[in-house]
Amino acid sequence: MTNNNSASLRRVKSSYSTANGGSCVEWAPDRTSATGIVPVRDSKHPNGPVLMVSPAAFAGLVALAKESGA
């Protein structure tokens, strides 16, 4: 994990996130395209740590979320 929270990054919030503050996960697709690394963070804590994972690991996280209904 790192605090790589560049304000200039366009971030996409998970479709599983709710408007009332539940499970707010977001990632930066432009950074992924440029580096091959997927930065993932909690949008409720934008200055908190960022998990940097491979695209394959990110796909696994998404699949797990879909499976569990999270």
Q: What is the DSSP string of 2-46?
A: B----TTS--EE-TT--TTS-S-EEE-HHHHHHHS-EEEEETT-T
pLDDT at res. 7: 59
pLDDT tens digits, one per residue of 31-69: 888 899 999 998 888 889 999 999 999 999 889 888 876
Q: How many residues does the chain have?
A: 70
Task: Give the pLDDT band of residue 1 (cuts 50, 70, 90).
Answer: very low
Let me know: does 14 contact 3? Beta carbons within 8 Å.
Answer: no
pLDDT at res. 65: 80
